[in-house]
Structure 1
Amino acid sequence: MNTQTKIIAIDDDPTGSQTVHSCLLLTRWDVATLLEALQDASPLFFVLSNTRGMDASSAAAVTREICVNLREALAQAAQQGTHIQPVVVSRSDSTLRGHYPVETDVIAEELGPFDAHFLVPAFFEGGRITRDATHYLLVDGEAVPVHETEFANDSVFGFSTAFLPDYVAEKTGGNIPASAVERFSLADVRGDIGGRLQALHGNACGVVDAEQQADLDSFARQVLAAAQTGKRFLFRSAASLLTAFAGLPPQPVAAADMAQFVRNGKAGVVLMGSHVGKSTLQLQYLLEHSDVLPIHIDLDRLVADEEELFSAIQGQLQAASRKNRGVVLYTSRGEKQFATKAERLAFGDRVAAFLVRLTQNLPEDIGFLISKGGITSNDTLSKGLALRTARVLGQIRAGCSVVRCPADHARFPNLPVVIFPGNVGGDEALAEAYSILTKG
């Protein structure tokens, strides 16, 4: 029987492909779609679960459904003569926000048992490194512990420490004490960890240091070698580990040449749902350094009279289209405060549904679409554009994937779509991507 290794990333928002190219993103996870991805030529694929936008119970249910269907798809592939050895990655945020350990626990229940699961949050393109088991965000060249950044104050996924063993203890409610967490230092991953990997058992928890891609390349190489001997590992990681696992050549189309995918020289649309401070600074820079037309999605007006707001925005979009002028649709800045997490998530769902409706009704002849924010981008792909799968063309800038609608898409054939995470890039990053697509 033919045996293959396939890297399968269950991605809690659609930005995990931000370091790779030529692979499939799945917005659905029925057995037939998963089997199609397992048989695809690319060494990896992503299942976009979008669970970061859900409560913990819903996240667990969706993750379980994906795992059950994946198990069946793997069985069908084996029946057809191909034994696939999966390397399962629970891809999540490089600033430690997400449903940990909920998702890794469900994956272990359905696809385990695993000898260990590793937390590998380093994401070099976004300036996230891990040193001495502490996770840092590089800000103007200075390494700031991530618990001292705005991301640690997230109303749903907040945390108090960037020291990963303590983070694990906090998030597991003490079920995994900090003292039980295996630490893989920079010296470890740059050396020989084969013996330590072989000794792991019982779904032990490990945290992994990395300051540069070569660190994860070394770690991944040794992990895959151990897997070949029968060791089974699960990973909770940001995107850079996937680069190491996939080992892809340079992307076929350079970032600077992505304008070749813009349709008919037409102006594009930027859709900005992300409200983190980094996104707001990027919005301001874009407005100051381009002729893009700003259209405010006023969330107070959304609550007061959704239909009136929708109609007004539609009028502005159509007027801009007639003049072939680019627009940026952006939600009110800042994070609204709510009494409970449930109310916060419910309001997020309402805003997301409105953004989907706007996407579905964009002018049909737009040249490109930039979707800013993880949850926004997932909804753009799966609901706004109703894509079952999409293939990643590559990155337009570090951490920002470009995908394209299929040629037979009912409304937007061959439309290039940039998936731009909320927490990636300097102030100029969004304007740079916009400029690349408009220079043609």
Structure 2
Amino acid sequence: MQPKIIVLDDDPTGSQTVHSCLLLTRWDVDTLRLGLADESPIFFVLTNTRALTPTQADAVTREVCRNLKQAIALEGLQDFLIVSRSDSTLRGHYPVETDAIAEVLGPFDAHFLTPAFFEGGRFTRDSVHYLVINGVPTPVHETEFARDSVFAYHHSYLPDYVEEKTQGRIAAEQVERFLLADVRAGVAARLLALSGNTCGVVDAETQDDLNRFAADVLAAASQGKRFLFRSAASLLTALANLPPQPVAPADMATYVRDGKPGAIIVGSHVKKTTEQLEVLLQAPGVVPVEVDVAKLLPDSPMSRDVLLANLLHQVHAAHTAGQTPVVFTSRQELTFADAQTRLDFGMAVSRLLMDIVRGLPADVGFLISKGGITSNDTLSDGLALTSARLLGQILPGVSVVRTPPDHPQFPNLPVVLFPGNVGDRTAVAQAYQRLSQAS
């Protein structure tokens, strides 16, 4: 029997390789039971912990796991796998989240780092994790992501990454390495021998590699082994083993409401997003609406209310003219005294963007949200969803969900969840063009 795959997702983009399942933005026991009882083999709990401090991430993860324990007991569920889904470029609260999960839902025989995400050009070879940039495989510690102001790290060799992040609690030489030759030959016997929450890192260059690894994992789990995963999205494809999505990526315009123009919200600040924004703004039918975030600083002469009113006026004017407003945060990098001040300012920017989402025209045809944290806030705050049904992907690694038919403001609205670090320069423009075919 297929175990239920329970994914605690630290932003809402980890569902980017599966379809037809539930994304939950709340984690009370009753909401978690919806996911456990759903017919799909997989569901996601959107914890948004990547936007939180380590202490907050620990508290949220423990709360989810305590409620899960109750929900699992009430549903009488025997077989399940827990995945802590995080970023394929190694940013996020590791080992904070896996430690919390292990304490509440453990013990586990092992936890595995499986950061490969093929749709985004991320693979692992000889325990070194790579990101393909302009066709060149680049060790991730040499990319902008390793210099993240909150989640910086210095190693692409995963055993060294584990030692760095656990501050030496797990030494590099203690990490079990599952190399490509091992995975392709089969690792079932090795999996059965693991115990004591051993840390393992897994090579994968193709989806077939993870399919093979997942088959061995499921076989070992059926014999009573308990495993935890710190994973990017591609392992989820292998574990869930779903058929093709119901509506093809090129035909997603069929979900657009009444063929109306949409709206696009861009919060992500990574270089890739800025390049994609430049291409998008050259597309026909879009209108730029820039949010000057410096106007949210405490010493700004403009009040927040005036700023919001000005932005919503531009959004509605574009929509009335049959065009799609692209609301984007200004691209200049502001500097802050410390990481907490930066996080707090990021939340203030997000609250403004969510006020814009709530103020969108009632008959907007579709919504594209660019950036992981922005997308999470769009679902849980801007649209105030408890759950959403995942339709599938519009581009590789880019999911589309739909609001429920009884949503009080935007029923049956297709919403694109576009990670900050996915796609080439033209990707956001492509997603827009696919949806605006109906406009």
Q: How far apart, in 2, do the equivalents of 1:252 and 1:332 lie?
A: 37
The corresponding residue for 1:391 is 389
Q: TM-score, normalised by structure 2?
A: 0.98
SS in 2 for 1:87: strand
Structure 1 segments of 4 or more deviating over 3 A? none
Partners of 1:293 and 1:327 within 8 A in 2: yes
The corresponding residue for 1:264 is 258
Q: How far apart, in 2, do the equivalents of 1:391 and 1:361 lie?
A: 23
- CA deviation after TM superposition for structure 1 residue 11, in Å: 0.1
- Closer, same or farther in 2 for the Cα pair 1:335/1:10, shift >3 Å? farther
Partner of residue 27 from structure 2, selected from 17, 26, 29: 29
Point out the more displaced range, 51-60 or 319-328: 319-328
The corresponding residue for 2:136 is 142
- CA deviation after TM superposition for structure 1 residue 334, in Å: 4.5
What CA deviation, in whole Å up to 9, does each residue of 1:109-143 have, x standing for no partner? Answer: 00000000000000000000000100000112210
Partner of residue 229 from structure 2, selected from 206, 220, 235: 235
Amino acid at match of 2:348: R
The corresponding residue for 1:46 is 44
Partners of 1:166 and 1:178 within 8 A in 2: yes
The corresponding residue for 2:156 is 162
Partners of 1:213 and 1:244 within 8 A in 2: yes
Q: TM-score, normalised by structure 1?
A: 0.97
Amino acid at match of 1:420: F
Partners of 2:379 and 2:385 within 8 A in 1: yes
- Identity among equivalent positions (%) equals 61
Give matches, 1:278-297, under 5 Å: 278-297=272-291
Partner of residue 362 from structure 1, selected from 354, 360, 384: 360
Q: How far apart, in 2, do the equivalents of 1:382 and 1:11 lie?
A: 13
The corresponding residue for 1:403 is 401
Amino acid at match of 2:410: F
SS in 2 for 1:264: helix
Q: How far apart, in 1, do the equivalents of 2:2 and 2:247 lie?
A: 27
- CA deviation after TM superposition for structure 1 residue 336, in Å: 2.5
Q: How far apart, in 2, do the equivalents of 1:387 and 1:336 lie?
A: 31
SS in 1 for 2:281: helix
Q: How far apart, in 1, do the equivalents of 2:139 and 2:282 lie?
A: 31
Partners of 2:362 and 2:410 within 8 A in 1: yes
Q: What runs of 5+ residues in structure 2 fail to find an aligned partner?
A: none
Partners of 1:275 and 1:334 within 8 A in 2: no
- CA deviation after TM superposition for structure 1 residue 4, in Å: 5.5
What CA deviation, in whole Å up to 9, does each residue of 1:219-255 have, x standing for no partner? Answer: 0000110011111000000000000000000000000
Amino acid at match of 1:47: V
SS in 2 for 1:84: coil
Q: How far apart, in 2, do the equivalents of 1:9 and 1:68 lie?
A: 15
The corresponding residue for 1:86 is 80
Point out the more displaced range, 358-367 or 51-60: 358-367
Q: How far apart, in 2, do the equivalents of 1:167 and 1:337 lie?
A: 27
Give matches, 1:154-233, under 5 Å: 154-233=148-227
What CA deviation, in whole Å up to 9, does each residue of 1:134-175 have, x standing for no partner? Answer: 000011221000111110110000101111000000000000
- Closer, same or farther in 2 for the Cα pair 1:163/1:391, shift >3 Å? same
SS in 1 for 2:107: coil
CA RMSD of aligned residues (A): 0.9
Q: What runs of 5+ residues in structure 1 fail to find an aligned partner?
A: none
- Closer, same or farther in 2 for the Cα pair 1:16/1:194, shift >3 Å? same
Partners of 1:290 and 1:431 within 8 A in 2: no
The corresponding residue for 2:267 is 273
SS in 1 for 2:431: helix
SS in 2 for 1:17: coil
Partners of 2:146 and 2:154 within 8 A in 1: yes
Point out the more displaced range, 261-270 or 87-96: 261-270
The answer as to 2:101 corresponding to 1:103 is no
Partner of residue 70 from structure 1, selected from 68, 71, 89: 68
- CA deviation after TM superposition for structure 1 residue 356, in Å: 1.1
Q: How far apart, in 2, do the equivalents of 1:436 and 1:192 lie?
A: 41
Q: How far apart, in 2, do the equivalents of 1:434 and 1:42 lie?
A: 28
Partners of 2:253 and 2:435 within 8 A in 1: yes
- CA deviation after TM superposition for structure 1 residue 302, in Å: 2.4
The corresponding residue for 1:245 is 239
The corresponding residue for 1:313 is 311
Partners of 2:141 and 2:155 within 8 A in 1: yes
What CA deviation, in whole Å up to 9, does each residue of 1:342-387 have, x standing for no partner? Answer: 1111111111111111111111111000000000000000010011
Partners of 1:4 and 1:84 within 8 A in 2: no
Partner of residue 344 from structure 2, selected from 326, 343, 346: 346
What CA deviation, in whole Å up to 9, does each residue of 1:390-423 have, x standing for no partner? Answer: 0100100001110111111111011100000000
